[in-house]
């Protein structure tokens, strides 16, 4: 499907504050461009055994123990991701983006920081005046090392002082990739828009939700371009995030309609809707320096 989009504007303001009218044409990735799960067959078998042990184990286990087991069963475990939400004062949006354009590439390109910028976006439908950033770390050790390094950098200190004056609020969650997803998408330029779907799962129901969802996700991949799927470990607990990419809103509508024609999808929705307390959908466009576009 071709996306019908306006040409990119060249004004400084619109370059810094992308909108739905400024998305680039959409080119889907080939399947082999998606990141693959690097686990060996033995590791995969061990993870499957862990899921079975949790699903069919003792029902008298404490909820805390169950949640710990669920996390081990669900997570891919290779990386730790951080998703941050910056609610920016509207009058500072232009300055905020300019500040990030100057600072974030320096952070991401500094090898001593041991982190990678997955993507940065501006929300255009949903939580307005909000910018979303996802970072990738080599485990919790990488997260600690990166934060210690970054906060001591000459380029970060003035950034931190300036950005605080521009924000209404900010929050951060440490999240893990779902095992069934196989890995977050690698940097690419496909064009179009992104949808971040956020779910708050009922406490104690995350593993049940994952078991139902992964049955239908294979069908959905046939008609939608997946980017990433994570669940929270620290911050807002029982939270799930799915990131998708579309040519435009019409492409999104058609793709979602096609899902209902695929075997198993209606069952997945029926099973998972009972396990969710809150759902949120935000349409986003990437910033100029975002590795995912």
CATH code of the domain in which 201 resides? 3.30.70.100
pLDDT at 217: 78
Domain assignment of residue 56, yes or no: no
Q: What is the mean pLDDT of residues 251-276?
A: 87
Domain assignment of residue 41, yes or no: no
What is the chain's mean pLDDT, rounded?
80
Domain assignment of residue 7, yes or no: no
Residue with token string 């500094």: 110
Domain assignment of residue 120, yes or no: yes
Domain assignment of residue 198, yes or no: yes
Structural domain including 198 reads 64-284
Digit-coded pLDDT (tens) for 219-244:
777 778 789 999 999 999 999 999 99
Distance CA 215, CA 44 (A): 17
pLDDT at 77: 63
Domain assignment of residue 58, yes or no: no
For 87, residues 6+ apart whose C-beta sits below 8 A from its C-beta are 127, 129, 130, 167, 168, 169, 170
Domain assignment of residue 27, yes or no: no
Q: What is the mean pLDDT of residues 144-173?
A: 94
For the chain, the domain total comes to: 1
pLDDT at 116: 95
Domain assignment of residue 166, yes or no: yes
């Amino acid at each position: 499907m071709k996306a019908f989009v306006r040409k990119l504007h060249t004004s400084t303001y619109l370059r810094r504050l992308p909108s739905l009218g400024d998305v680039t044409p959409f080119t889907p990735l080939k399947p082999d461009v998606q990141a693959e799960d690097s686990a060996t067959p033995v590791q995969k078998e061990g993870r499957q055994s862990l899921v079975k042990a949790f699903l069919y184990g003792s029902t008298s286990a404490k909820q805390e123990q169950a949640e710990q087991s669920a996390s081990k069963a669900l997570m891919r475990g290779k990386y730790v991701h951080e998703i941050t939400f910056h609610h920016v004062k509207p009058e500072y949006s232009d300055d905020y983006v300019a500040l990030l354009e100057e600072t974030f590439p320096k952070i991401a390109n500094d090898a001593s920081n041991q982190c990678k910028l997955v993507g940065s976006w501006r929300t255009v439908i949903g939580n307005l005046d909000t910018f979303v950033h996802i970072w990738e770390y080599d485990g919790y050790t990488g997260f600690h090392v990166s934060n210690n390094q970054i906060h001591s950098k000459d380029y970060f200190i003035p950034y931190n002082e300036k950005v605080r004056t521009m924000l209404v609020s900010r929050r951060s969650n440490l999240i893990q990739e779902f095992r069934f997803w196989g890995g977050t998408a690698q940097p690419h330029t496909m064009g179009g828009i992104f949808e971040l779907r956020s779910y708050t799962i009922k406490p104690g129901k995350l593993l049940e939700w994952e078991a139902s969802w992964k049955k239908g996700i294979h069908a959905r991949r046939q008609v939608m371009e997946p980017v990433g799927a994570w669940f929270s470990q620290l911050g807002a607990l029982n939270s799930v995030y799915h990131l998708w990419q579309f040519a435009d809103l019409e492409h999104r509508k058609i793709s979602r309609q096609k899902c209902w024609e695929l075997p198993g999808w209606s069952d997945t929705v029926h099973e998972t809707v009972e396990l969710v307390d809150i759902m949120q959908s935000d349409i986003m466009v990437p910033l100029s320096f975002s590795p995912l576009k």
